[in-house]
Structure 1
Amino acid sequence: MRPEKPLEPHPTLPDYYPDLAQRPAFVRGLFDRTARHYDRICQLMSFGSGNWYRRRALERAGLRPGMTVLDVATGTGLVARQALAIAGDPQAVIGLDVSAGMLAEVKRLLNIPLMQGLMEQLPVADACCDMVSMGYALRHVADLNTTFREFHRALRPGGVLLILEIARPATPLKRGVIKFYMGRVIPLLSRLTTGQQDTQTLMRYYWDTIENCVPPDAIIQAIRDAGFADAGCDVEFDLFRAYFGRKAGAAQS
Protein backbone atom coordinates (compact mmCIF):
# COMPACT_ATOMS: atom_id res chain seq x y z
CA MET A 1 0.00 0.00 0.00
CA ARG A 2 1.36 3.40 -0.97
CA PRO A 3 1.84 5.96 1.79
CA GLU A 4 -0.87 8.61 1.88
CA LYS A 5 0.94 11.28 3.85
CA PRO A 6 3.71 13.29 2.12
CA LEU A 7 7.16 12.78 3.57
CA GLU A 8 9.00 16.09 3.56
CA PRO A 9 12.78 15.75 3.82
CA HIS A 10 12.93 18.48 6.45
CA PRO A 11 10.58 21.02 8.07
CA THR A 12 10.14 24.60 6.93
CA LEU A 13 13.27 26.69 7.58
CA PRO A 14 11.98 30.23 8.27
CA ASP A 15 15.45 31.77 8.13
CA TYR A 16 15.30 31.23 4.35
CA TYR A 17 11.62 31.21 3.31
CA PRO A 18 8.37 31.93 5.19
CA ASP A 19 6.41 28.77 4.41
CA LEU A 20 6.57 25.47 2.54
CA ALA A 21 4.91 26.91 -0.57
CA GLN A 22 7.83 29.33 -1.01
CA ARG A 23 10.55 26.69 -0.73
CA PRO A 24 10.71 25.58 -4.41
CA ALA A 25 11.14 29.13 -5.69
CA PHE A 26 13.76 29.89 -3.03
CA VAL A 27 15.80 26.78 -3.84
CA ARG A 28 15.55 27.25 -7.61
CA GLY A 29 16.56 30.91 -7.40
CA LEU A 30 19.47 30.19 -5.07
CA PHE A 31 20.88 27.52 -7.37
CA ASP A 32 20.34 29.71 -10.44
CA ARG A 33 22.36 32.53 -8.88
CA THR A 34 25.22 30.34 -7.64
CA ALA A 35 25.51 27.88 -10.55
CA ARG A 36 28.72 29.34 -11.99
CA HIS A 37 30.48 28.94 -8.62
CA TYR A 38 29.05 25.55 -7.67
CA ASP A 39 31.92 23.34 -8.86
CA ARG A 40 34.49 25.46 -7.04
CA ILE A 41 32.51 25.28 -3.80
CA CYS A 42 32.13 21.51 -4.04
CA GLN A 43 35.86 21.09 -4.63
CA LEU A 44 36.53 23.26 -1.60
CA MET A 45 34.13 21.33 0.62
CA SER A 46 35.37 17.86 -0.36
CA PHE A 47 39.09 18.66 -0.60
CA GLY A 48 38.96 17.52 -4.23
CA SER A 49 37.85 13.96 -3.39
CA GLY A 50 34.28 14.25 -4.69
CA ASN A 51 34.88 12.92 -8.20
CA TRP A 52 36.61 9.79 -6.92
CA TYR A 53 33.79 9.11 -4.46
CA ARG A 54 31.04 9.61 -7.03
CA ARG A 55 32.66 7.31 -9.57
CA ARG A 56 33.26 4.58 -7.02
CA ALA A 57 29.64 4.79 -5.82
CA LEU A 58 28.35 4.44 -9.39
CA GLU A 59 30.60 1.45 -10.04
CA ARG A 60 29.55 -0.21 -6.78
CA ALA A 61 25.90 0.29 -7.73
CA GLY A 62 26.54 -1.69 -10.91
CA LEU A 63 26.85 0.96 -13.61
CA ARG A 64 28.61 -0.40 -16.67
CA PRO A 65 28.90 0.38 -20.41
CA GLY A 66 25.66 -0.10 -22.30
CA MET A 67 23.42 1.12 -19.48
CA THR A 68 21.30 4.28 -19.61
CA VAL A 69 21.44 6.67 -16.65
CA LEU A 70 18.95 9.35 -15.65
CA ASP A 71 20.86 11.76 -13.40
CA VAL A 72 18.22 13.66 -11.46
CA ALA A 73 19.07 17.07 -9.99
CA THR A 74 22.16 16.92 -12.15
CA GLY A 75 23.33 20.40 -11.14
CA THR A 76 26.56 21.15 -12.98
CA GLY A 77 26.89 17.48 -13.90
CA LEU A 78 29.22 16.30 -11.15
CA VAL A 79 27.61 12.84 -10.99
CA ALA A 80 26.82 12.82 -14.72
CA ARG A 81 30.50 13.30 -15.59
CA GLN A 82 31.48 10.20 -13.67
CA ALA A 83 28.54 8.25 -15.12
CA LEU A 84 29.66 9.26 -18.61
CA ALA A 85 33.21 8.12 -17.87
CA ILE A 86 31.84 4.67 -17.04
CA ALA A 87 29.00 4.35 -19.57
CA GLY A 88 31.09 5.76 -22.40
CA ASP A 89 28.18 6.97 -24.57
CA PRO A 90 27.13 10.65 -24.20
CA GLN A 91 23.59 9.74 -25.26
CA ALA A 92 23.35 7.19 -22.44
CA VAL A 93 23.55 9.78 -19.64
CA ILE A 94 20.57 12.12 -19.33
CA GLY A 95 20.70 15.10 -16.98
CA LEU A 96 17.60 16.63 -15.39
CA ASP A 97 17.37 19.69 -13.16
CA VAL A 98 14.81 22.31 -12.18
CA SER A 99 17.41 25.10 -12.27
CA ALA A 100 17.99 26.79 -15.62
CA GLY A 101 21.25 28.20 -14.28
CA MET A 102 22.58 24.76 -13.43
CA LEU A 103 21.52 23.36 -16.80
CA ALA A 104 23.33 26.21 -18.56
CA GLU A 105 26.52 25.26 -16.71
CA VAL A 106 26.29 21.55 -17.47
CA LYS A 107 25.51 22.31 -21.12
CA ARG A 108 28.74 24.27 -21.28
CA LEU A 109 30.70 21.38 -19.78
CA LEU A 110 29.07 18.21 -21.13
CA ASN A 111 27.51 17.11 -24.40
CA ILE A 112 24.68 15.02 -22.98
CA PRO A 113 20.87 15.21 -23.31
CA LEU A 114 19.40 17.65 -20.78
CA MET A 115 15.88 18.29 -19.51
CA GLN A 116 14.39 20.85 -17.17
CA GLY A 117 11.82 19.47 -14.78
CA LEU A 118 10.80 18.46 -11.29
CA MET A 119 12.01 15.35 -9.51
CA GLU A 120 8.46 14.78 -8.28
CA GLN A 121 7.12 14.85 -11.86
CA LEU A 122 9.80 13.42 -14.13
CA PRO A 123 9.22 14.38 -17.79
CA VAL A 124 10.24 10.91 -18.98
CA ALA A 125 8.51 7.77 -20.20
CA ASP A 126 7.98 4.72 -18.03
CA ALA A 127 10.88 2.24 -17.91
CA CYS A 128 13.25 4.54 -19.80
CA CYS A 129 16.55 3.91 -17.98
CA ASP A 130 18.68 1.33 -16.19
CA MET A 131 19.83 3.59 -13.35
CA VAL A 132 18.47 6.68 -11.63
CA SER A 133 21.14 8.65 -9.80
CA MET A 134 20.84 11.72 -7.59
CA GLY A 135 23.70 13.48 -5.85
CA TYR A 136 23.11 15.51 -2.70
CA ALA A 137 19.65 16.78 -3.65
CA LEU A 138 17.34 14.54 -1.67
CA ARG A 139 16.90 17.35 0.87
CA HIS A 140 15.43 19.65 -1.78
CA VAL A 141 12.40 17.61 -2.92
CA ALA A 142 8.87 18.38 -1.77
CA ASP A 143 7.85 14.80 -0.96
CA LEU A 144 10.16 11.80 -0.73
CA ASN A 145 7.32 9.32 -1.28
CA THR A 146 6.23 10.90 -4.57
CA THR A 147 9.82 11.36 -5.72
CA PHE A 148 10.81 7.76 -5.08
CA ARG A 149 7.70 6.47 -6.86
CA GLU A 150 8.70 8.57 -9.87
CA PHE A 151 12.21 7.13 -9.78
CA HIS A 152 10.71 3.62 -9.67
CA ARG A 153 8.46 4.42 -12.64
CA ALA A 154 11.39 5.64 -14.74
CA LEU A 155 13.47 2.51 -14.19
CA ARG A 156 13.36 -0.61 -16.32
CA PRO A 157 12.88 -3.97 -14.56
CA GLY A 158 16.07 -4.77 -12.70
CA GLY A 159 17.09 -1.11 -12.75
CA VAL A 160 19.01 0.46 -9.88
CA LEU A 161 18.48 3.58 -7.78
CA LEU A 162 21.51 5.38 -6.31
CA ILE A 163 21.17 8.44 -4.08
CA LEU A 164 24.26 10.09 -2.62
CA GLU A 165 23.72 12.16 0.50
CA ILE A 166 25.29 13.55 3.64
CA ALA A 167 23.72 12.93 7.03
CA ARG A 168 24.49 14.13 10.53
CA PRO A 169 27.12 11.97 12.25
CA ALA A 170 25.81 9.81 15.07
CA THR A 171 28.40 10.79 17.68
CA PRO A 172 28.25 14.24 19.34
CA LEU A 173 31.95 14.95 18.79
CA LYS A 174 31.86 14.25 15.06
CA ARG A 175 28.57 16.12 14.76
CA GLY A 176 30.07 19.18 16.42
CA VAL A 177 33.15 19.17 14.21
CA ILE A 178 31.16 18.72 10.99
CA LYS A 179 28.65 21.37 12.02
CA PHE A 180 31.42 23.89 12.59
CA TYR A 181 33.15 23.00 9.31
CA MET A 182 30.11 22.79 7.04
CA GLY A 183 27.88 25.25 8.85
CA ARG A 184 30.44 28.03 9.42
CA VAL A 185 33.80 27.51 7.74
CA ILE A 186 32.57 26.44 4.29
CA PRO A 187 29.91 29.18 3.99
CA LEU A 188 32.49 31.83 4.89
CA LEU A 189 35.15 30.42 2.54
CA SER A 190 32.56 30.18 -0.23
CA ARG A 191 31.83 33.89 -0.01
CA LEU A 192 35.50 34.84 0.28
CA THR A 193 36.60 32.74 -2.71
CA THR A 194 33.71 33.72 -5.00
CA GLY A 195 32.94 37.24 -3.84
CA GLN A 196 29.23 36.38 -3.87
CA GLN A 197 27.00 36.55 -0.79
CA ASP A 198 24.59 34.02 -2.28
CA THR A 199 27.23 31.30 -2.10
CA GLN A 200 27.46 31.80 1.66
CA THR A 201 23.68 31.54 1.91
CA LEU A 202 23.73 28.42 -0.26
CA MET A 203 26.20 26.61 1.98
CA ARG A 204 24.51 27.70 5.20
CA TYR A 205 21.27 26.34 3.77
CA TYR A 206 23.11 23.20 2.67
CA TRP A 207 24.12 22.42 6.25
CA ASP A 208 20.81 23.45 7.79
CA THR A 209 18.95 21.01 5.53
CA ILE A 210 21.37 18.26 6.53
CA GLU A 211 20.93 19.01 10.23
CA ASN A 212 17.13 18.99 9.94
CA CYS A 213 16.76 16.10 7.49
CA VAL A 214 14.64 13.06 8.31
CA PRO A 215 16.73 10.14 9.61
CA PRO A 216 18.28 7.58 7.24
CA ASP A 217 15.90 4.82 8.40
CA ALA A 218 12.93 6.91 7.24
CA ILE A 219 14.56 7.40 3.84
CA ILE A 220 15.24 3.69 3.42
CA GLN A 221 11.65 2.87 4.38
CA ALA A 222 10.34 5.40 1.85
CA ILE A 223 12.46 3.73 -0.84
CA ARG A 224 10.92 0.36 0.10
CA ASP A 225 7.41 1.85 0.16
CA ALA A 226 7.93 3.12 -3.40
CA GLY A 227 8.30 -0.48 -4.56
CA PHE A 228 12.06 -0.99 -4.50
CA ALA A 229 13.61 -4.27 -3.44
CA ASP A 230 16.93 -4.64 -1.62
CA ALA A 231 16.72 -1.08 -0.27
CA GLY A 232 19.60 -0.07 1.95
CA CYS A 233 22.37 2.39 2.65
CA ASP A 234 26.17 2.27 2.61
CA VAL A 235 27.80 4.55 5.20
CA GLU A 236 31.31 5.97 5.15
CA PHE A 237 33.00 8.03 7.86
CA ASP A 238 29.67 8.30 9.70
CA LEU A 239 28.82 11.09 7.25
CA PHE A 240 28.46 10.04 3.61
CA ARG A 241 25.52 7.86 2.68
CA ALA A 242 24.75 6.02 -0.54
CA TYR A 243 21.10 4.91 -0.57
CA PHE A 244 20.18 2.21 -3.05
CA GLY A 245 17.31 0.06 -4.25
CA ARG A 246 16.44 -2.20 -7.17
CA LYS A 247 13.29 -2.41 -9.26
CA ALA A 248 12.00 -5.96 -9.35
CA GLY A 249 12.44 -7.97 -12.53
CA ALA A 250 15.28 -9.14 -14.71
CA ALA A 251 17.73 -6.51 -15.93
CA GLN A 252 18.15 -6.20 -19.67
CA SER A 253 21.40 -7.67 -20.93
Structure 2
Amino acid sequence: MAKFAHDEVVPYQQSEKGKKEQVAEMFNSIAFRYDFLNRFLTAGVDIQWRKKAIRQLKDIQPQLVLDVATGTADVAIMMHRMLKTKKIIGIDISEGMLALGREKLEKLQLTDHITLQTGDSETIHFPDNHFDAITVSFGVRNFAHLDKGMSEMYRVLRPGGKLVVLEFSRPKQPLFRKMCDFYTNVITPGVGRLFANNKDAYQYLNDSVQAFPEGDNFLNIMHEAGFTQTYLKKLSFGICTIYCGSK
Protein backbone atom coordinates (compact mmCIF):
# COMPACT_ATOMS: atom_id res chain seq x y z
CA MET A 1 0.00 0.00 0.00
CA ALA A 2 1.43 3.36 -1.03
CA LYS A 3 1.88 6.07 1.58
CA PHE A 4 1.42 9.76 0.94
CA ALA A 5 2.54 12.67 3.09
CA HIS A 6 -1.00 13.76 3.88
CA ASP A 7 -1.84 10.25 5.13
CA GLU A 8 0.29 11.07 8.16
CA VAL A 9 -1.24 14.51 8.86
CA VAL A 10 -3.67 14.31 11.79
CA PRO A 11 -5.79 16.88 13.67
CA TYR A 12 -4.48 16.05 17.15
CA GLN A 13 -0.73 15.49 17.34
CA GLN A 14 -0.78 14.18 20.92
CA SER A 15 -3.51 11.62 20.30
CA GLU A 16 -2.67 7.93 19.95
CA LYS A 17 -5.74 7.32 17.77
CA GLY A 18 -5.42 6.68 14.04
CA LYS A 19 -6.16 9.34 11.44
CA LYS A 20 -9.65 8.05 10.65
CA GLU A 21 -10.71 8.14 14.30
CA GLN A 22 -9.18 11.57 14.84
CA VAL A 23 -10.86 13.04 11.76
CA ALA A 24 -14.25 11.65 12.85
CA GLU A 25 -13.75 13.10 16.33
CA MET A 26 -12.71 16.47 14.87
CA PHE A 27 -15.73 16.76 12.59
CA ASN A 28 -18.07 15.68 15.39
CA SER A 29 -16.72 18.55 17.50
CA ILE A 30 -17.12 21.26 14.83
CA ALA A 31 -20.27 19.97 13.10
CA PHE A 32 -22.49 22.59 14.73
CA ARG A 33 -20.42 25.39 13.12
CA TYR A 34 -19.22 23.64 9.95
CA ASP A 35 -21.64 25.12 7.40
CA PHE A 36 -21.39 28.61 8.88
CA LEU A 37 -17.59 28.58 8.85
CA ASN A 38 -17.49 27.28 5.27
CA ARG A 39 -19.56 30.27 4.15
CA PHE A 40 -17.68 32.70 6.40
CA LEU A 41 -14.12 31.62 5.57
CA THR A 42 -14.70 31.52 1.81
CA ALA A 43 -17.09 34.51 1.64
CA GLY A 44 -19.63 32.11 0.14
CA VAL A 45 -17.43 31.17 -2.84
CA ASP A 46 -17.44 27.52 -1.74
CA ILE A 47 -21.06 27.30 -2.96
CA GLN A 48 -19.94 28.21 -6.49
CA TRP A 49 -17.06 25.73 -6.30
CA ARG A 50 -19.49 22.95 -5.41
CA LYS A 51 -21.85 23.90 -8.23
CA LYS A 52 -19.01 23.87 -10.77
CA ALA A 53 -17.98 20.42 -9.58
CA ILE A 54 -21.54 19.09 -9.92
CA ARG A 55 -21.77 20.47 -13.47
CA GLN A 56 -18.99 18.06 -14.47
CA LEU A 57 -21.63 15.32 -14.24
CA LYS A 58 -24.16 17.03 -16.46
CA ASP A 59 -23.00 15.14 -19.56
CA ILE A 60 -23.76 11.70 -18.09
CA GLN A 61 -26.98 12.62 -16.20
CA PRO A 62 -26.38 10.17 -13.32
CA GLN A 63 -29.41 8.69 -11.57
CA LEU A 64 -27.65 6.83 -8.76
CA VAL A 65 -24.79 8.71 -7.09
CA LEU A 66 -22.49 8.07 -4.14
CA ASP A 67 -21.34 11.19 -2.26
CA VAL A 68 -18.28 10.26 -0.21
CA ALA A 69 -17.44 12.40 2.86
CA THR A 70 -20.89 13.91 2.44
CA GLY A 71 -20.70 15.90 5.69
CA THR A 72 -23.93 17.83 6.18
CA ALA A 73 -25.13 16.84 2.68
CA ASP A 74 -24.50 20.19 0.96
CA VAL A 75 -23.33 18.61 -2.30
CA ALA A 76 -26.00 15.92 -2.26
CA ILE A 77 -28.74 18.53 -1.92
CA MET A 78 -27.26 20.75 -4.63
CA MET A 79 -26.84 17.78 -6.94
CA HIS A 80 -30.44 16.71 -6.61
CA ARG A 81 -31.60 20.23 -7.36
CA MET A 82 -29.25 20.77 -10.30
CA LEU A 83 -29.32 17.35 -11.98
CA LYS A 84 -32.65 15.95 -10.79
CA THR A 85 -30.81 12.84 -9.66
CA LYS A 86 -33.19 10.10 -8.53
CA LYS A 87 -31.12 8.66 -5.67
CA ILE A 88 -28.03 9.87 -3.82
CA ILE A 89 -26.30 7.90 -1.07
CA GLY A 90 -24.12 10.03 1.19
CA ILE A 91 -21.52 8.40 3.45
CA ASP A 92 -19.36 9.95 6.15
CA ILE A 93 -17.35 8.84 9.17
CA SER A 94 -18.73 11.64 11.36
CA GLU A 95 -22.08 10.92 13.00
CA GLY A 96 -22.27 14.53 14.14
CA MET A 97 -22.13 15.79 10.56
CA LEU A 98 -24.62 13.18 9.36
CA ALA A 99 -27.10 14.12 12.08
CA LEU A 100 -27.13 17.73 10.88
CA GLY A 101 -27.42 16.53 7.29
CA ARG A 102 -30.46 14.42 8.14
CA GLU A 103 -32.11 17.43 9.78
CA LYS A 104 -31.63 19.38 6.55
CA LEU A 105 -33.12 16.59 4.47
CA GLU A 106 -36.17 16.35 6.73
CA LYS A 107 -36.81 20.10 6.47
CA LEU A 108 -36.39 20.05 2.69
CA GLN A 109 -38.46 16.85 2.34
CA LEU A 110 -35.68 15.13 0.41
CA THR A 111 -35.42 11.90 2.40
CA ASP A 112 -36.90 9.91 -0.50
CA HIS A 113 -34.09 11.06 -2.78
CA ILE A 114 -31.07 11.34 -0.46
CA THR A 115 -29.98 8.80 2.15
CA LEU A 116 -27.13 9.38 4.61
CA GLN A 117 -25.26 6.59 6.34
CA THR A 118 -22.08 5.97 8.27
CA GLY A 119 -19.24 4.84 6.05
CA ASP A 120 -15.90 5.76 4.54
CA SER A 121 -14.03 5.42 1.28
CA GLU A 122 -11.89 2.49 2.34
CA THR A 123 -14.81 0.12 2.91
CA ILE A 124 -17.80 1.01 0.74
CA HIS A 125 -20.61 -1.46 1.47
CA PHE A 126 -22.00 -1.65 -2.05
CA PRO A 127 -21.39 -4.14 -4.88
CA ASP A 128 -19.04 -3.67 -7.83
CA ASN A 129 -20.15 -1.44 -10.71
CA HIS A 130 -23.05 0.00 -8.71
CA PHE A 131 -23.04 3.80 -9.03
CA ASP A 132 -23.41 6.05 -12.08
CA ALA A 133 -21.20 8.69 -10.45
CA ILE A 134 -19.21 9.40 -7.30
CA THR A 135 -18.46 12.79 -5.78
CA VAL A 136 -16.05 13.83 -3.02
CA SER A 137 -15.94 17.45 -1.89
CA PHE A 138 -13.10 18.52 0.39
CA GLY A 139 -12.78 14.95 1.60
CA VAL A 140 -9.96 13.10 -0.14
CA ARG A 141 -7.24 14.78 1.92
CA ASN A 142 -8.94 13.28 4.99
CA PHE A 143 -8.56 9.70 3.69
CA ALA A 144 -6.28 7.68 5.96
CA HIS A 145 -5.07 5.65 2.95
CA LEU A 146 -5.56 7.59 -0.26
CA ASP A 147 -4.76 4.79 -2.70
CA LYS A 148 -7.13 2.38 -0.93
CA GLY A 149 -9.93 4.94 -1.01
CA MET A 150 -9.42 5.65 -4.70
CA SER A 151 -9.41 1.94 -5.58
CA GLU A 152 -12.56 1.30 -3.58
CA MET A 153 -14.39 4.15 -5.29
CA TYR A 154 -13.28 2.80 -8.66
CA ARG A 155 -14.66 -0.63 -7.70
CA VAL A 156 -18.20 0.57 -6.98
CA LEU A 157 -18.37 2.89 -10.00
CA ARG A 158 -20.04 1.37 -13.06
CA PRO A 159 -18.28 1.28 -16.45
CA GLY A 160 -18.96 4.62 -18.13
CA GLY A 161 -19.42 6.25 -14.72
CA LYS A 162 -17.55 9.34 -13.54
CA LEU A 163 -15.71 10.42 -10.40
CA VAL A 164 -15.62 14.12 -9.48
CA VAL A 165 -13.31 15.30 -6.69
CA LEU A 166 -13.29 18.85 -5.35
CA GLU A 167 -10.34 19.73 -3.15
CA PHE A 168 -8.31 22.66 -1.89
CA SER A 169 -5.01 23.33 -3.63
CA ARG A 170 -2.19 25.87 -3.50
CA PRO A 171 -2.01 28.71 -6.03
CA LYS A 172 1.07 28.80 -8.26
CA GLN A 173 1.51 32.58 -8.39
CA PRO A 174 4.12 33.27 -5.63
CA LEU A 175 2.61 36.42 -4.07
CA PHE A 176 -0.95 35.08 -4.11
CA ARG A 177 0.31 31.78 -2.71
CA LYS A 178 1.96 33.57 0.21
CA MET A 179 -1.25 35.46 0.91
CA CYS A 180 -3.26 32.22 0.88
CA ASP A 181 -0.71 30.47 3.10
CA PHE A 182 -0.98 33.31 5.64
CA TYR A 183 -4.78 33.13 5.54
CA THR A 184 -4.96 29.36 6.05
CA ASN A 185 -2.13 29.19 8.58
CA VAL A 186 -3.03 32.22 10.72
CA ILE A 187 -6.53 33.53 10.02
CA THR A 188 -8.37 30.23 9.55
CA PRO A 189 -7.20 28.56 12.81
CA GLY A 190 -7.97 31.79 14.69
CA VAL A 191 -11.49 31.89 13.32
CA GLY A 192 -11.90 28.19 14.11
CA ARG A 193 -10.91 28.82 17.71
CA LEU A 194 -13.24 31.81 17.99
CA PHE A 195 -16.39 30.30 16.48
CA ALA A 196 -15.96 26.54 16.95
CA ASN A 197 -13.64 26.53 19.96
CA ASN A 198 -11.33 24.23 18.00
CA LYS A 199 -8.12 25.72 16.62
CA ASP A 200 -6.65 22.27 15.95
CA ALA A 201 -9.35 21.40 13.42
CA TYR A 202 -8.65 24.44 11.28
CA GLN A 203 -4.89 24.14 11.67
CA TYR A 204 -5.31 20.61 10.36
CA LEU A 205 -7.12 22.07 7.34
CA ASN A 206 -3.99 24.03 6.46
CA ASP A 207 -1.56 21.20 7.21
CA SER A 208 -3.51 18.66 5.15
CA VAL A 209 -3.76 21.04 2.18
CA GLN A 210 -0.01 21.68 2.30
CA ALA A 211 0.74 17.94 2.26
CA PHE A 212 -1.84 16.85 -0.31
CA PRO A 213 -0.50 15.51 -3.68
CA GLU A 214 -2.34 18.04 -5.84
CA GLY A 215 -2.45 18.76 -9.57
CA ASP A 216 -0.88 16.23 -11.94
CA ASN A 217 0.29 14.17 -8.96
CA PHE A 218 -3.31 13.50 -7.98
CA LEU A 219 -4.27 12.74 -11.59
CA ASN A 220 -1.50 10.12 -11.58
CA ILE A 221 -2.97 8.57 -8.43
CA MET A 222 -6.35 8.42 -10.18
CA HIS A 223 -4.71 6.71 -13.16
CA GLU A 224 -3.08 4.14 -10.88
CA ALA A 225 -6.50 3.35 -9.39
CA GLY A 226 -7.81 2.67 -12.91
CA PHE A 227 -9.50 5.93 -13.89
CA THR A 228 -9.23 7.15 -17.47
CA GLN A 229 -10.09 10.38 -19.32
CA THR A 230 -8.81 12.30 -16.32
CA TYR A 231 -8.62 16.07 -16.24
CA LEU A 232 -8.52 18.93 -13.76
CA LYS A 233 -9.97 22.43 -13.56
CA LYS A 234 -8.44 25.07 -11.31
CA LEU A 235 -10.83 27.46 -9.57
CA SER A 236 -10.28 30.90 -8.02
CA PHE A 237 -6.66 31.19 -9.22
CA GLY A 238 -5.81 27.73 -7.91
CA ILE A 239 -7.25 27.91 -4.38
CA CYS A 240 -9.44 24.95 -5.29
CA THR A 241 -9.27 22.26 -7.98
CA ILE A 242 -11.81 19.92 -9.58
CA TYR A 243 -10.46 16.49 -10.60
CA CYS A 244 -12.45 14.17 -12.85
CA GLY A 245 -11.98 10.64 -14.13
CA SER A 246 -14.07 7.94 -15.80
CA LYS A 247 -14.28 4.17 -15.62
Cα distance, 1:211 vs structure 2 = 1.1
* More off after superposition, 79-88 vs 40-49: 79-88
The CA distance in 2 between the partners of 1:22 and 1:145, in whole Å, is: 17
The 1:21/1:58 distance shift into structure 2, 3 A limit, reads: same
Query: Identity of counterpart residues, as a percentage?
Result: 28
The CA distance in 1 between the partners of 2:217 and 2:62, in whole Å, is: 33
The CA distance in 2 between the partners of 1:50 and 1:81, in whole Å, is: 14
Q: Which residue of 1 aligns with 2:68?
A: 72
Alpha carbons 1:9, 1:143 under 8 Å: kept: no
Q: Which residue of 2 aligns with 1:120?
A: 122
Q: Does 1:148 align with 2:150?
A: yes
Q: Which residue of 2 aligns with 1:231?
A: 230
The CA distance in 1 between the partners of 2:96 and 2:7, in whole Å, is: 26
Cα distance, 1:120 vs structure 2 = 0.9
Cα distance, 1:56 vs structure 2 = 2.2
Correspondence 1:30-69 to 2 at 5 A: 30-62=26-58, 67-69=63-65
The Cα RMSD (Å) is 2.1
The 1:51/1:118 distance shift into structure 2, 3 A limit, reads: same
1:187 aligned counterpart, secondary structure: helix
* More off after superposition, 50-59 vs 17-26: 17-26
Cα distance, 1:128 vs structure 2 = 1.6
Q: Give the residue type in structure 2 aligned to 1:53.
A: W
Q: Give the residue type in structure 2 aligned to 1:171.
A: Q
Cα distance, 1:18 vs structure 2 = 4.9
Cα distance, 1:43 vs structure 2 = 0.2
Name which of 78, 81, 103 aligns with 1:82.
78
Q: Does 1:216 align with 2:215?
A: yes
Alpha carbons 1:69, 1:131 under 8 Å: kept: yes
Correspondence 1:18-29 to 2 at 5 A: 18=14, 22-29=18-25
Alpha carbons 1:12, 1:19 under 8 Å: kept: no
Any idea what the Cα deviations from partners look like across 1:96-131, whole Å, max 9, x if unmatched? Answer: 001111110100112221121121111112222111
Cα distance, 1:141 vs structure 2 = 0.6
Alpha carbons 1:70, 1:93 under 8 Å: kept: yes
- Per the normalisation by structure 2, the TM-score is 0.89
- Unaligned stretches of 5+ in structure 1? 248-253
1:10 aligned counterpart, secondary structure: helix
Alpha carbons 1:73, 1:98 under 8 Å: kept: yes
1:113 aligned counterpart, secondary structure: strand
Name which of 74, 88, 91 aligns with 1:93.
88
